[in-house]
Structure 1
Amino acid sequence: MIFHSSHFWHNKFFAFKIMHFSQIRDFFYERGWKREIKELYLSLGILRLAIAMVAVFEPIYLFNVFGSIPWLLFYLGLLFLALFFIYPLGGKFVCRFGFEHSFAFSIPAVFLYFVVINLLAKSLWFLAPLFVLSIIYKILFWPATHSNLAHYGDQQKRGHQYGLFSGVIRATRIVGPLLGGLVLYFFSFKVLFVVAATISFLAIFPMFSTKEEFASGFFPYKKCFLRIRDAYRPYKRKFFLSFLGFGEEIVSIMLWPLFIFLVVRNYASLGGIVSISSLFALFFSLYIGKMVDKRDKRGKKTILSFGTALYALLWPIRAFLTTVWGVFGANVISANLTQVVYNPLVAFAYQKGDERGHLKYIIFLMMGIAAGKALMCFLLLLLILVFGLNWYLIFGVAGLWTLLYLFL
């Protein structure tokens, strides 16, 4: 069914228009975009499809390997603590070899990650190479991807371009979890990892369709930490505190899927819930991106504050959900609210990068995210060791942690 543009509702904060087909088409086919952006989206779509097939089921797999949530949190805490100190080295690599080469080098790391994680069930000795591969992927993929998008993108369309970036990821989450769930339903994790590894390998080809024009430079390691300590413009301390808010993703990405699985008890159902939720969130993420671009600084802040408040309130409610429809509804709402929060926040980081250099600010952002996730892991670990596994407490902490976004 195709809707014509008309006002659906209007209030102080939002003026939402139902999109005509031509508007939806324009979201995906921007005119005048640079080759680097188009190649990025194609490779990103392939790679994230492979990751999406595994991502929602990986917490369950790792939980079975570790045998408990505290050990899982301890591992993740160490991982993100290491990333906090190693992300600047990723910045050095990206600055030296370029966005496309850094992105391309992250792809073999993902391929090998799927190979090694398949062996983890046989021996925990494979945890060490898995740890290293995860770090290599993250310090190359995220700085290169965000810097590429910020550097080659249109400065007047930051929100829309991140909305499309998020839309590409959401699109893979429509197909990926459902396929992954079906593979697990009919086969096993071993088959799932083999399929994901094969798909991930294909992502390397679009990045080398043409040669990247990139001038290598120097990226100082120590200054990354001085920006946090000294907090000079545009690296304000309140911005770093806002980036710490991404620590809630430890709960939303790692623990929430576990909770859903405890309710549905079926891999295919879990994959279906995530896929359908992503379908609802896909076009909403694109709309939010357009809306962010049309707002001034105060308007962007209003969008972020509105989304953060609703998202924070949703967290403690999740602990009371014990039915399939309950967790499905919460996941749909959550998938949409995260776009209201993440889009203006990341668009802000891109805009700040225009002032002092995109890669510098992206590393500042990624260090804040890593620090927030490490702190969340160790906080939850402490609370579980003291009070036991309590979903009311875990989701309540996630809701409070989400409020850090308001420091922006």
Structure 2
Amino acid sequence: MFKIFEELQLKAKLSSSLTALYSSILIDEIGSGLIGLFMPIFLWEKFGRLDLVLLYYLIIHAIYSVSVIGGAMLMSKLGQKMSMILSVPFKVIFYLALYYLSLNYSLLTFTILMTVAIEIQMMLFWIPYHTDFACFTNKKNRGRVIGFLSSFSGLVAVFVPLLSAWIIVNYGFNILFLVVIILTVASIGPLFLVQSTYEKFSFSFRESWRQFFKRRHRRLIISYFASGLENMIGGLIWPVFIFQMLGGDFLKVGVLSSVIILATIIIRLLMGSYTDRFDKYKLLKWGSGLYALGWIFKALVATGWQIFIAATYHNFAAIAMQTPFSALTYEKAADSGHYVDELTVLREMALNLGRVFGVILLLIFINLVGLQWTFILAAIASLFINII
């Protein structure tokens, strides 16, 4: 398996800036991965009600769907590299707020603090990151690059859910957050090695919204709106669902999640290569159909073994869908030339408005049909992703 990684790394021809950029992301993803799966569960414990957790995420993404425009304007003044570097301290503050919440400090005070911190962090980081990624890759091997980098992240992340669960069970969430803070601080190092680049964001707030509703961007907007809706259900409801299914056992959830990640790494590597050989739109069409079917399977699971089968299949389908989807996204951004950052902003606006709409649907349906049947909503949304 490691030979496959070595061969694909050579074929992907990663530039030094892309290597540095993704090294930072990889370190940060390890930290985020330690808490990511259990974040909704932690907030559920602290807020006491699942609808309050959903409301928190609604506020986060509603604000960011607007503030992302301001983030792009800041990037124009700071440059991509400096903007990403400045985002890291705010992510540290976000995790510090979670640390104090885990020690039962003021719920209101630290919820407000972590909300403000993560909003600023997202404003400063995501537009520069996506803009640089589009600039540092080329159309010929972009799918292979995405496949390799995602697979390498997956290899590193295999043991992350298990390690996270072990820390929670033996030491508690507070120690977990301290570990995550250390990793987040470490992620700033590689960013200093990234080439300094500058993109001028030319839209005003008003022009950004005018472009958002233009006919020529409609397919991109609908596709990312659907993606945002779907990943909100996957990111919030699925972890809570499997936690309940496995009797609230953190270790069982961690072990199962690690095994699922391990079972899908090679598939992700292969899909990255196929993305560059075949028509990305056809791959995406088939992938989104398979992915929607995976949500139907998840709605029917009743045991731990069924969760493993359904989730492994769904991860395969996610690779079949997300690899060409990501490649097409960066192609469109790169092909837009000077407007690479403007197109990225429109995409982020659509993605986060989709997340907001997804949370609203969850707040309505969760008490009517239960957690499991909200997966049908995700299946329907998945079918709209391929119209990009």
Gaps of 5+ in 2: none
- Cα distance in structure 1, aligned partners of 2:75 and 2:316: 32
Residue 141 (structure 1) aligned to one of 121, 125, 130: 125
Distance 1:32 1:404, change over 3 A: closer
Render the CA deviation track for 1:302-355: whole Å, top value 9, x for unaligned: 211111112112213323322211112222222221121112112111111123
Q: CA deviation at 1:217?
A: 2.7
- Report which stretch shifted further, 86-95 or 364-373: 86-95
Distance 1:103 1:172, change over 3 A: farther
- Report which stretch shifted further, 146-155 or 44-53: 146-155
Query: Could you tell me the percent identity over the aligned residues?
Result: 22
Residue 239 (structure 1) aligned to one of 197, 202, 220: 220
Distance 1:353 1:381, change over 3 A: same
Distance 1:314 1:217, change over 3 A: closer
What corresponds to 1:338 in structure 2?
318
Alignment of 1:1-80 (within 5 A): 22-30=3-11, 32-80=13-61
- Cα distance in structure 2, aligned partners of 1:286 and 1:98: 32
- Report which stretch shifted further, 89-98 or 167-176: 167-176
- Report which stretch shifted further, 246-255 or 48-57: 246-255
Distance 1:359 1:323, change over 3 A: same
Render the CA deviation track for 1:68-119: whole Å, top value 9, x for unaligned: 2211111111211111111111222223222222222222222211110122
- Cα distance in structure 2, aligned partners of 1:218 and 1:395: 37
Render the CA deviation track for 1:145-174: whole Å, top value 9, x for unaligned: 221111011221121222233224323431
Gaps of 5+ in 1: 3-20
Alignment of 1:4-403 (within 5 A): 22-30=3-11, 32-120=13-101, 121-125=104-108, 126-209=110-193, 212-215=195-198, 217-222=200-205, 223-232=207-216, 235=217, 237-246=218-227, 247-264=229-246, 265-295=248-278, 299-356=279-336, 357-385=339-367, 387=368, 390-403=370-383
- Give 3-state SS (helix, strand or coil) of 1:319's partner: helix
Corresponding letter in the other structure for 2:286: F
Q: Is this contact kept in 1: 2:298–2:375, CA < 8 A?
A: yes
- Cα distance in structure 2, aligned partners of 1:66 and 1:110: 21
State how many pairs are aligned.
380
- Give 3-state SS (helix, strand or coil) of 2:188's partner: coil
- Cα distance in structure 2, aligned partners of 1:147 and 1:217: 11
Distance 1:221 1:282, change over 3 A: farther
Q: CA deviation at 1:404?
A: 1.6
Render the CA deviation track for 1:24-64: whole Å, top value 9, x for unaligned: 31223457532210101211111111111110011100111
Corresponding letter in the other structure for 1:104: I
- Give 3-state SS (helix, strand or coil) of 2:213's partner: helix
Q: Is this contact kept in 2: 1:97–1:216, CA < 8 A?
A: no
Give TM-score scaled by structure 1 length: 0.88
Q: CA deviation at 1:369?
A: 0.8
- Cα distance in structure 1, aligned partners of 2:327 and 2:285: 15
Tell me which protein shows more helix as a share of its residues. Answer: 2
- Report which stretch shifted further, 131-140 or 213-222: 213-222
Distance 1:31 1:352, change over 3 A: closer
- Cα distance in structure 2, aligned partners of 1:205 and 1:100: 12
- Cα distance in structure 2, aligned partners of 1:165 and 1:312: 25
Q: Is this contact kept in 2: 1:173–1:274, CA < 8 A?
A: no
Q: CA deviation at 1:142?
A: 2.3
- CA-atom RMSD, angstroms? 1.9
Give TM-score scaled by structure 2 length: 0.92
Q: CA deviation at 1:381?
A: 0.6
Q: Is this contact kept in 2: 1:113–1:130, CA < 8 A?
A: yes
- Give 3-state SS (helix, strand or coil) of 1:220's partner: coil
Q: Is this contact kept in 2: 1:49–1:175, CA < 8 A?
A: no
Distance 1:154 1:205, change over 3 A: same
- Report which stretch shifted further, 348-357 or 194-203: 348-357
What corresponds to 1:13 in structure 2?
none
